[in-house]
Amino acid sequence: MTHLPAEIPPLAEVFDTMRVVSIPTRTRFRGITVREAAIFDAPRGPSEFSPFTEYADPESAQWLAAALDFGWCEQPAPLRDRIDVNATVPAVAPAEVAGILARFPGCRTAKVKVAERGQSLAEDVARVREVRVLMGPTARIRVDANTGWSVHDAVAALTALAQFDLDYAEQPCATVPELVEVRQRLAAAGVPVRIAADESVRKATDPLAVARAGAADLIIVKAQPLGGVSRALEIVREAGLPVVVSSALDTSVGIAMGAQLAASLPDGTLAGACGLGTVALLDGDVTETSLIPAQGSIPVGRPVLSPLLLDRYAASPERTAWWRERVARCHALLAAHG
């Protein structure tokens, strides 16, 4: 279901505000080394459209709906002015973990990528062990498999990783029935690992199916994939589960949208630090005041775009044309639904 802003701005107006950037990552993340995004200098403040390049238009249109909503529509009033964030550790070797954690000063929670294609469970265990050693016994550690395991492999892996006192495991398997089975098998074996649903919420035609099925202990919500802050708040209310707000390796503009969502959640809804510190994994940004963690948190508010940085990280004419065509197609889909 595509959530639409109250009024979709004309495509010509959207194009007038749009710049496309291409920013290197500090570390390979989700298989990419360059993050591309369309940035809008919109009437309500900067906004971002940055679905990963492999996402098809129907899914990407939801991201555009979020960008248009954030850039052209009034947002819910925030209830807090700072958001605690977690460190994000890509699927790196243990020797690289300390350098990654150093980019997240003050963070007492870490999310560690596991189940990377081509890597082994032993590598996952070594990475998580190193995070635990470096952060100490009181830190929270989460793992994120991005649907990378079968039910059998998920149960085996989480049984092995449970020794590190995990906060939760994010999306160990792809489908809702698989998540249900993983939870049941872990409970039967006495393995105390909670399950969080991410892709089963943001990529689902019915984002509430995971809650109805009892497939997760908490949900991960992301503003862009869910169609914007207001739509994500609706999903959280209807799901009735604890929430962690996360991001998709956005620039500070996209992170500001996520922070707005986290700041607007009712008291008692957030299940710990949010995954909104990932600007620290980029080797550049579109603002001089990047939303990188300081003392374990980031401020709520819109960054000011830097013309200098927009020029420095401007995408090539070919890539800019590719994004303009993508925005036009997604805009047409939104207009057709309107």
Query: What does DSSP assign to residue 163?
Result: G
Q: What is the Cα–Cα distance from 330 to 31, expressed in whole angstroms?
A: 25
Known binding residue 54? Answer is no
Active site residue 113: yes
Known binding residue 198? Answer is yes
Q: Computed from CA positions of residues 217, 222, 228, 229, in that sequence, does the dihedral angle turn out positive or negative?
A: positive
Q: Catalytic residue, from 35, 111, 132, 222: name it.
A: 222
Beta strand 82-84 with 87-89: parallel, antiparallel or unpaired? Answer: unpaired
Task: With beta carbons less than 8 A apart as the criterion, state whether 109 and 87 touch.
Answer: yes
Of the candidates 114, 74, 90, the one whose C-alpha atom is nearest the C-alpha of residue 35 is 90
Known binding residue 181? Answer is no
Q: Catalytic residue, from 3, 35, 103, 113: name it.
A: 113
The token pair that represents 255 in the structure block: 């992170």
Task: With beta carbons less than 8 A apart as the criterion, state whether 176 and 200 touch.
Answer: yes
Q: What is the Cα–Cα distance from 53 to 59, expressed in whole angstroms?
A: 11
Q: CB-based contacts of 318: which residues, under 8 Å, 6+ apart?
A: none
Active site residue 222: yes
Binding-site residues, please?
144, 170, 198
Residues tagged active-site: 113, 222
Binding-site residues for Mg(2+), please?
144, 170, 198
